Amino acid sequence: MLFFQKRTEGALPPSPTSDLEQLTARIETAQLPQHAREAARRELERLTKTDPSVAEYGVGLAYLDYLLGLPWNVATPDRLDLPGAEAVLSGRHHGLGQVKDRVLEYLASRSLRNATGFHVLVVDDEDIARANLEHVLRKEGYQVRGASNGLEALEEVRRWEFDLIITDLKMDKMDGLELLAEARVLSPATRVMLVTGFATVDTAVAAMRQGAVYYLAKPVNLDELRSTVARLSREKAAPTAFRSPVLCFSGPPGTGKTSVGQAIAEALGRKFHRISLAGLRDEAELRGHRRTYVGALPGRVLQSLSRLGVRNPVFMLDEIDKVGKDFRGDPAAVFLEMLDPEQNGQFVDNYLEVPFDLSQVLFIATANDVGELSGPLLDRLEVVPFQGYSAGEKIRIAEDHLLPRQLREHGLTHPYPVVTPEAVRVVVDGYTREAGVRNLDRELGRICRKLAKLRLEGGAGASAVGATPVTVDAALVPALLGPPRFVREAAGASPRVGVATGLVYAGYGGEIIFVEAIRMQGVGALTMTGSLGEVLCESAKTALSFVRSQAETLGIEPQVFLTDDLHLHIPAGSIPKEGSSAGLTLALALASLYTGRALRSDVAMTGEITLTGHVLPVGGIREKMLAAARAGVRRVILPEGNRPDALGLAEGDGLELETVFVRTVLEALPLALA
């Protein structure tokens, strides 16, 4: 027989609180917007009528727990310190002036918008009365300006935004009631207080009906004035939420797009989160699944916000130009709502089914080629171009950022090896060929690993005291990295007939190409090879037609176009090529071929041409000129329309290039001939 002993001393243990009771308490105490609270109450009411043993009960509990856990009103205060933010951005990255300026502009706008202060305009045609009121209000700490009549007051309202206007009723040119009506049209948020020595019930009622907030009789009771203005100052509405910009960092790989996003979050004092979109194909990954599906989950956006615990982080949408599209939907279409400042204040996740405000999130997208984005999506983004680095910038970045980090990561700190600037330049010129610094960082890491191995093989420990630091100079780099993998092809080549050096821009930066043209006996046929796109083939035909039309000017026998076949080729045939900027290069290659005069290999050119021989401006000038400098080009021929782009680059980067601007093909030909 089993006996149970009755508890006789001590308090009884509290009965366990049910899940529904806990959720009820959380709903009532949580700081939720009204629509979210109503949705939570509806779901809770449905759960109270559901059998706890059915699967829908657990689904409902998980939904309510998730809804209550979202950061509806939790935000990180922005660090509105412009000098501090500028120091963070400058310390983390070299150059990128446009990007840093955009972030500092955003901070400056936030600082001005959040600036506290109550602005008052005093209007009275009696100078003494107006001066007394201004003096009293300034002593209370308000920002005060004055006007002697209604017309002057309206001019002030057009130039300033005031929180309060204190105006006399009877004035010349425009009385107080007329000023009240006009001011409410110009600045509806401005409040108006009337002061008069002819106070009557009728005028007071008329003023209040037109929108005046208070009515004071002269002589003014200063205590009543102070208390009334203080009350209006406390009632001043908080500024509306400042919508965060939606930026898109566009540029070649390795130019610092992702790391700049992290620096922006650090400068603002916000949390940072990165979402990789490369290969994303399912729309539900972003917008979530509806709860009717088994195992439904919220989208990655709300999941990330729930994990971070704040509603205003810095969100980096990495590789937005590589989002896929298939039968499951177009994920890029979600961005039309999520990245639109006019719509993302009411973003609806399929799982949550309650609008969530994303307007405080600072979205930063990254892309290598914005041409891959749809027009509506691109229209919602503020594109900030990240351009390639010059050789001098790469050397400074390596010395200030990359090399110190690599030395610390490989334990080469006791003592630090000495890597000369000449050695870094050898690595930049001979072992990398890129617009960014990703491969440069990799090659510097290889040098550090070689040095670490040599230090241990030499018997010096990781922290040997008194060890002599190793000096890595230009002569030692080939011993550590092997023979140079890249040569300055344009600088060493000799002039050739029918071969022109062109400049092109791709997603990975600028590059040089060699357009080759030969002719042989035939029937005037044209052959083009090298994986050329349709636009590039049309440019070649345009160039050929122009050269044929100028045969007499160029001293070409017209009959050769009918008796000789022409073959145009651009090497690296496995790489597709497209674009119109090779038109000038094609025209000069053909002119050289048919005139028999060689073109200089160290003269590169770019530009689109018309059928009449005019050279039109093209894009990517900075990347193209950097590519020309890397390849050893001495002279660059550019369209006249690109003069501002080229001059700005030449002055800021110190490229040793002779830049010549032309308007027509015939102007460019003598500049390229040997």
* d(C-alpha 474, C-alpha 422), whole Å: 6
pLDDT at 235 over 90: no
Percent of the chain with pLDDT over 90: 30
**In the chain, which segments carry CATH 3.30.230.10?**
489-672
Q: Is there a contact between 381 and 336 (Cβ–Cβ < 8 Å)?
A: no
Q: Is there a contact between 186 and 157 (Cβ–Cβ < 8 Å)?
A: yes
For the domain 246-385, what is the CATH code? 3.40.50.300
What 3-state class would DSSP assign to 578? coil
Residue 492's pLDDT band (boundaries 50, 70, 90)?
A: low
> Could you tell me which residue, 178 or 354, shows the higher pLDDT?
354
pLDDT at 508 over 70: no
pLDDT at 667 over 90: yes
DSSP result, 382-426: EEEE-PPPPHHHHHHHIIIIIHHHHHHHTT--TT--EE-HHHHHH
Q: What is the pLDDT of residue 569?
A: 93
What 3-state class would DSSP assign to 147? strand
Highest mean pLDDT among 159-168, 198-207, 343-352, 542-551: 542-551
Q: What is the pLDDT of residue 493?
A: 72
Tokens representing 450 are 């070689």
pLDDT at 540 over 90: yes
Contacts of 300 (CB under 8 A, 6+ apart): 275, 285, 286
What's the mean pLDDT in 495-504?
Answer: 91
Residue 338's pLDDT band (boundaries 50, 70, 90)?
A: confident
Q: What is the pLDDT of residue 541?
A: 93
Q: What is the pLDDT of residue 432?
A: 87
pLDDT at 199 over 60: no
Q: What is the pLDDT of residue 185?
A: 86
* d(C-alpha 572, C-alpha 416), whole Å: 43
Q: What is the pLDDT of residue 616?
A: 93
Residue 16's pLDDT band (boundaries 50, 70, 90)?
A: very low
Q: Is there a contact between 615 and 665 (Cβ–Cβ < 8 Å)?
A: yes
Q: Is there a contact between 587 and 597 (Cβ–Cβ < 8 Å)?
A: no
Distance from the Cα of residue 116 to its chain's centroid: 29
pTM here is 0.75
Q: For 476-487, write each residue's pLDDT tens digit.
A: 999 999 998 887
Contacts of 167 (CB under 8 A, 6+ apart): 121, 122, 123, 124, 150, 153, 176, 179, 180, 192, 193, 194, 195
Highest mean pLDDT among 15-19, 74-78, 256-260, 310-314: 310-314
What's the mean pLDDT in 572-582?
Answer: 80
Q: What is the pLDDT of residue 531?
A: 87
* d(C-alpha 25, C-alpha 582), whole Å: 70
> Could you tell me which residue, 290 or 112, shows the higher pLDDT?
290
pLDDT at 15 over 90: no
635-639/658-662 β-pairing: parallel
Q: What is the pLDDT of residue 217?
A: 81
What DSSP element (H or E) covers 639?
strand 635-639
Residue 327's pLDDT band (boundaries 50, 70, 90)?
A: low
Q: For 29-48, write each residue's pLDDT tens digit.
A: 888 889 999 999 998 888 88
Q: For 561-574, write each residue's pLDDT tens digit.
A: 999 999 999 987 66
Q: For 449-470, write each residue's pLDDT tens digit.
A: 999 988 888 765 444 444 678 8
Tokens representing 304 are 């990330």
What's the mean pLDDT in 556-583?
Answer: 87
What's the mean pLDDT in 103-118?
Answer: 77
The 8-class DSSP code of residue 319 comes to T
Q: Is there a contact between 626 and 390 (Cβ–Cβ < 8 Å)?
A: yes
Q: Residue 599, exposed/middle/buried by CB under 10 A (0-12, 13-18, 19+)? A: buried
Percent of the chain with pLDDT over 70: 90
**In the chain, which segments carry CATH 3.40.50.300?**
246-385
pLDDT at 615 over 90: yes
* d(C-alpha 305, C-alpha 372), whole Å: 28
What's the mean pLDDT in 418-430?
Answer: 90
For the domain 391-481, what is the CATH code? 1.10.8.60
7-16, 54-63, 536-545, range with the lowest pLDDT = 7-16
DSSP result, 330-395: -THHHHHHHT-TTTGGGEE-TTT-SEE--TTSEEEEEES-GGGS-HHHHHTSEEEE-PPPPHHHHH
Domain 489-672 coded CATH 3.40.50.2300? no
Q: What is the pLDDT of residue 462?
A: 46
Residues designated as active site = 581, 624
246-250/214-217 β-pairing: unpaired
pLDDT at 444 over 90: yes
Mean pLDDT of all residues belonging to the chain:
84
Residue 655's pLDDT band (boundaries 50, 70, 90)?
A: low
**In the chain, which segments carry CATH 3.40.50.2300?**
120-234
- Fold of the 120-234 domain: Rossmann fold (3.40.50)
Distance from the Cα of residue 1 to its chain's centroid: 78
pLDDT at 13 over 50: no
Q: What is the pLDDT of residue 607?
A: 94
Phi-psi region of 569 (alpha: psi -120 to 50; beta: other; left: phi over 0): beta
